[in-house]
């Protein structure tokens, strides 16, 4: 079994990883081959559209690594469903859009494996919190 030296949690635009900061320096510091990483990530995410992809990189002592992609950010999925470009600057006062319970459930089901619950109702509560903090009304 290989010894883990670092676990990096990064958010990278799908299909657009490049050696420029902030990605390059954070990988180079761990001795990861940056161009190989970028190629691998871009190949895995080229069909993910314009989402920002959370990725977990486990770096081992021999400088090899494992790459684990997660679902797109909850906020990006909610923005897409609501048809808005960004969340509200004042979510408690200014609501920017409405989404239905069904739409909320679809996002929760998609994000389920990345959330710290196996219960759909709990996942819906987590996604609801994100929706409220973005200024989305749930109808």
Strand, helix or coil for residue 85: coil
Q: What share of the chain is helix, strand, coil (3-state, %, to 5)?
A: 40, 20, 40
In this prediction, residue 49 carries a pLDDT of 87
pLDDT at 29 (0 to 100) = 92
What predicted TM-score, i.e. pTM, was given to this entire model? 0.84
pLDDT reported for residue 1: 83
Give pLDDT < 50 ranges for the chain. Answer: none
Spell out the domains of the chain, with CATH numbers in brackets.
4-69 (3.30.1550.10), 74-138 (1.10.10.250)
pLDDT at residue number 100: 95
**Cis-peptide into 66, omega within 30 deg:** no
Bridge partners (DSSP) of residue 67 are: 57
Q: What are phi and psi of 69, to 5 degrees?
A: -80, 145
| pLDDT for 128 | 95
Phi, psi torsion values for 75, nearest 5 degrees: -60, -35
**Between vectors from CA 94 to CA 89 and to CA 95, what angle results, nearest 5°?**
105
| CA-based torsion, 87, 95, 128, 79: positive or negative | negative
Alpha-carbon span 35 to 121, nearest angstrom: 41
pLDDT value, residue 91: 87
Task: Kindly calculate the radius of gyration of the chain based on its CA atoms and give it in whole angstroms.
Answer: 17
Instruction: Give the pLDDT of residue 19.
Output: 93
Written as six digits, the tokens of 95 are 């609501």
What is the reported pLDDT for 116? Answer: 87
Q: Do 89 and 97 meet the contact criterion of CB atoms below 8 Å apart?
A: no
């Amino acid at each position: 079994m290989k010894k883990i030296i670092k676990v990096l949690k990064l958010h990278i635009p799908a299909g657009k990883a490049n050696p420029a900061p902030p990605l390059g320096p954070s990988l180079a510091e761990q001795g990861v081959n940056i161009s190989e990483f970028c190629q691998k990530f871009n190949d895995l995410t080229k069909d993910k559209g314009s989402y920002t992809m959370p990725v977990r990189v486990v770096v081992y002592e021999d400088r090899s690594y494992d790459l684990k992609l997660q679902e797109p950010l909850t906020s990006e999925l909610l923005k897409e469903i609501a048809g808005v470009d960004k969340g509200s600057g004042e979510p408690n006062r200014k609501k920017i859009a409405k989404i239905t319970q069904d739409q909320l459930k679809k996002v929760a089901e998609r994000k389920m494996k990345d959330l710290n619950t196996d219960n759909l109702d709990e996942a819906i509560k987590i996604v609801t919190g994100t929706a409220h903090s973005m200024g989305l009304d749930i109808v």
